[in-house]
Amino acid sequence: MAGGGPRTGHLPTVYPLERDRSASSGKSAQARPEGRIRPGGGGRRRYPDPVTKTDWNPILRQEFDKPYWSELQQFVHRERTNHQVFPPHDEVFAALRMTPYASVKVLIVGQDPYHGTGQAHGLCFSVRPGVAVPPSLDNIFRELESDLGVPRPNHGSLEHWARQGVLLLNTTLTVRAHKAGSHHGKGWEAFTDQVIRAVSAKPDRVVFVLWGSSARKKKALIDLDRHVVVESPHPSPLSAHRGFFGSRPFSAINDALVEGGRQPIDWAIPDLPGS
């Protein structure tokens, strides 16, 4: 394997729902594998439990024993060894860390992470403060202002939504730099489909937001007797004028939450000083 990566039998595994404790080690995040190896006695390597730090643990941990998972991690490790990959490995599962399972009341389905430098940070449609707002997110803010009169913030971070129970989930969690869709069909979809099924199994109402044809295919995973789906064309400049603009998704989400006895989302993202 190029770049001096682990030999067969020593493949890395991600720590998907733990913060990366080596982030301050001074090593390049791009050069590190998705996780670290815990040596074990005998032939088989034992890996750290990847979900011990959040309440997603009992819900998702069985995924890490399935064949697709090890194949996926081999693929991502090769990609990180030979190419630039976004987001950084310690932000791949930021959506699950930031929005606990117990808190989820809205799930917005994205596609793959932004593939431009410095954009992706683990939350679909979101960028960190100081990063230029991408066109799709700009259109989301435009529709939010039209729908609820909420002014657009001076930055593009959606963490304010995530901390209120809005799970911002891309269906593919990594991407090669500047190559949209490059990690489709490698296994991420099996994992994120399971996340969607798990959220659909929640007893309280959840609003699923499906923007675009790719997201709308996930409707089959949702219990429509229990939950509500808000759907429209994608906010991309290529499709926003075909029905995203004027769809009023934010008021529809809050109406559905209130009808289901849940607190509405405060969609107004606070401005940040200096942004």
Residues 6+ away with beta carbon under 8 Å from 3? 31, 81, 82
Cα gap 70→51, rounded to integer Å: 16
112 counts as catalytic:
yes
Cα gap 42→261, rounded to integer Å: 54
Cα gap 123→258, rounded to integer Å: 25
> Which residue in 112, 223, 266, 271 is the catalytic one?
112
Residue 194 to residues 37, 235, 237, Cα–Cα distance (Å): 25, 25, 30
Q: Answer whether 167's CB lies under 8 Å from 108's CB.
A: yes
H helices of the chain, in order, are: 57-60, 67-82, 94-98, 135-148, 159-162, 188-200, 213-216, 249-259
Catalytic center residues: 112
